[in-house]
Structure 1
Amino acid sequence: MEKTIRVAAVQAEPVWLDAEGTTKKTIDLIGQAAAEGAELVAFPETWIPGYPVFLWSYPVYQQMEFVARYHANSITVDGDQLRRIREAARENQISVVLGFSEKDGGSLYMAQAIIGADGEIVLHRRKLKPTHAERTLFGESDGSGIKVVETAIGRVGALNCFEHVQPLTKYAMYAQNEQIHVAGWPCLGIMGNVPALSPESIIAASQTYALEGSAFVLMATQIMSDDGALKFPDADGGPTPIYTGGGGFARIFGPHSGLISQPMEPTEEGLVYADLDLSQIALAKNTVDPAGHYARADVTRLIFDDRPQKPVIKPEEFDLQEFEDLRNEDDGIETASVFA
């Protein structure tokens, strides 16, 4: 039996639409997790400054006030809030997987950062494709964020929300021998009566990831209180109409897909913990390893492009062979005059 690794998953309410308030709460939760011996703590999707509940609540013309506040309270990778969170990770000697709304110029992205116990960012990624109404607020990413990274506690990866129902995205992660996976979810107390968005379906998606990937899965979720629901008021000042209560369903699953943490009540704030024995992964994969011995590459294969893609490429960054290939295709791409 290998040394066990103690981990924690957050189940808490952000300080809605308040980057500074949520940053302070983040640092407090990091300290709590470290005090309980955790070596890694996982936070939900867009934890800072909270999931944009207004996207699903009101017509676009009624969202403008919220959109402005959300932009103002989204954070940058090189900004003060993330710097202080990195310092908290280093001071507490704990790895942190943080979900946040990232502001880059005039665009927002649903980002995650894996921060090592030394405070360094090991991976910065963005949600590959925002889901449904999220696409009106957030930009898309590319394959460079579908990555598992080597850390002092094992091979760690992270995805946001409904990336966990994208079979090819998941398969690309499984193929990288992921050991510890962070599944960042929003508050499950909104639109909980819609079957596909229900807590039951989302828990099942996280558990399925553990089964298919033979990985430990840390499911981190936001919650929403009655007071929190009033932060997104309707025309009469009442709570957001999509509020269905609570929404906290933090869980930790083993590579055999079994639940290995003690769940809290959906309205309760806190952290769930588990002790991971990475040697269990080999036994789980011995049974089923979809990206290994259980694969049939002669029948089905995944084409995975993990190169960063940018809208503007400087000459020194450009692949001249790729440029020549584009010119030779003669498919109407008007780039030759730029690089002639």
Structure 2
Amino acid sequence: MKRMVRVAAVQAESGLFDLAAAVDKTVALIGEAAAGGAELVAFPEAFLPGYPWWIWLESPAGGMRFVPRYTAASITRDGAEMDRIRSAAAEHGIHVVLGFSERAGGSLYLAQAFVSDTGELLGVRRKLKPTHVERAVFGEGDGSDLQVHDTALGKVGALNCWEHLQPLTKYALYSMGEEIHVASWPSFAGYRGVAQALSPEVNTAASLMYAVEGQAFVIAPCAVIGAATLDTFCDTGEKRKLLQAGGGFARIYGPEGTSMAEPLPETAEGLVYADLPADLRAIAKSTADPAGHYSRPDVLRLLINRHPAANVADLPSAEFTTAG
């Protein structure tokens, strides 16, 4: 890992169904982060085109009215919108980890793109298991999505939201020597006082625990619920109780549990910055390395299938036989 790395976590409302506005905002935040000296900027889960909050507020039938618009506003990994993100990264010389809804054929996936400071698309991963009602909208990733990328800054990996509650998924990234981790979250403004498991207390703790368990620096971008989101999804008083304004809890943690950045107010949009000294990770690793000296592979090991899950596989012609 580079001796000192300056990073930025995004805390902002996305552009929702206005894809052009969402991309413009993303590009502007990339430029702002670079102007602030950041070498890496990380975005919330599904920042493009925005998180589909209707799935937590509507019946499946009631939510169908949003599906065509959301599908149309989702992007492909090789489309014009991703090209703009890559060009912005190259223009400003900054690494980007972008949360987006990926459209592939007729399916959508909760994806994260890794873009280098030269604009190279290092990789795209998909959430292995969408959480609860997310499975009504999004498909699943596969073993190829367990990625850690070697960059000039260090080894960078990422997970989405409640993947940080999946012990085996986390351990897979620990085992790859991950040094800088992006924990992308949607807003923590949903189900306030109704579901403690979705609360900011629990989910910021998940990011913190990832840092301490894996001895990695954790950048945890988090979206904000603003007027545009509420107006789009909350057409009744009951829905406005379930989804409230704010919920922005962007955080940056050190590998031994230090809070490394001053948080913004939860309703505020902006960037949270921190300088990451590599020496902190060496100190933390010397105490407890879960995939190294603090492991017991003779007792417990992780089995991973890293192969992409293909829907169609062509058999060699010799394996086909003619009937009759």
| Number of equivalenced pairs | 322
1:95 aligns with: 95
1:264 alignment counterpart: 264
In structure 1, the residue matched to 2:283 is: 283
Q: Does 1:189 align with 2:164?
A: no
Which string of whole-angstrom CA distances, capped at 9 and with x for unpartnered residues, describes residues 107-157 of structure 1?
000000000001011111000010010001100110111111100110000
What whole-Å deviation, never above 9, does each CA across 1:76-126 have from its counterpart, x for those lacking one? 111111100100000000000000000001000000000000101111100
Matches within 5 A, 1:13-92: 13-92=13-92
Tell me, yes or no, if structure 1 residue 225 matches structure 2 residue 226: yes
Query: Distance in 2 between the 1:253 and 1:113 partners?
Result: 21
Aligned residue runs from structure 1 range 104-183, under 5 A? 104-183=104-183
- Taking the aligned partners of 2:273 and 2:263, their CA distance within structure 1 comes to 9
> After TM superposition, which residue ranges in structure 1, 4 or more long, deviate above 3 angstroms?
236-241, 336-340
Q: Cα–Cα, structure 1 residues 144 and 35, in superposed 2: closer, same or farther, change >3 Å?
A: same
Shift of 1:227: 3.9
CA contact (8 A) 1:230 1:239 kept: no
TM-score (ref. length: structure 1): 0.91
Distance 1:84 1:178 in 2: 28
The one-letter code of the counterpart of 1:206 is S
Alpha-carbon distance in 2 for matches of 1:232, 1:2:
43
**How far 1:226 sits from its partner (Å)?**
3.4
Give the partner amino acid of 1:208: M
Q: Is the aligned partner of 1:199 residue 2:200?
A: yes
Give the distance between the partners of 2:273 and 2:283, measured in 1 at CA. Answer: 22
| RMSD over aligned Cα atoms | 2.0
Q: Post-superposition shift, 1:278?
A: 1.5
| Residues 251, 339 of structure 1: alpha-carbon distance in 2 compared, 3 angstrom cutoff | farther
Pairwise CA distance, 1:314: 3.0
Summarize the Cα distance change of 1:339–1:257 in structure 2 as closer, same or farther, 3 Å threshold.
farther
Is the deviation greater in 239-248 or in 205-214? 239-248
Structure 2 letter corresponding to 1:229:
L
Matched with 2:215 is 214
CA shift for structure 1 position 261: 0.6
Change (3 A) 1:298 1:85: same
Deviation at 1:315, TM superposition (A): 4.1
Conserved in 2, the CA contact under 8 Å of 1:74 and 1:102? Answer: yes
1:331 is aligned to none
Superposed, which structure 2 residues align to 1:319-338 within 5 Å? none
**Residues 191 and 198 of structure 2 are in contact (CA less than 8 Å); yes or no, is this contact kept in structure 1?**
yes
Q: 8 Å contact 2:2–2:153 — kept in the other structure?
A: no
Identity of aligned residues (%): 51
Once the two structures are TM-superposed, the CA of residue 338 in structure 1 deviates from its matched residue by 8.4
Structure 2: distance between partners of 1:2 and 1:96: 17
Q: State the SS of the aligned residue for 2:278.
A: coil
Contact 2:57 2:239 (C-alpha < 8 Å) held by counterparts: no
Corresponding residue for residue 243 of structure 2: 243
8 A Cα contact 1:57 1:241, kept in partner: no
Return the alpha-carbon distance in structure 2 between the equivalents of residues 122 and 304 of structure 1. 21
Cα distance in 1 between the residues matched to 2:138 and 2:16: 18
SS in 2 for 1:46: coil
After superposition, the Cα gap between the structure-2 partners of 1:93 and 1:2, relative to the gap in structure 1 and judged at 3 Å, is closer
Q: Aligned partners of 2:81 and 2:192: how far apart in 1?
A: 31
Deviation of 1:280 after TM superposition, in Å, equals 1.8
Gaps of 5+ in 2: none
Does the C-alpha gap of structure 1 residues 227 and 104 become closer, same or farther in structure 2, counting only changes over 3 Å?
A: closer
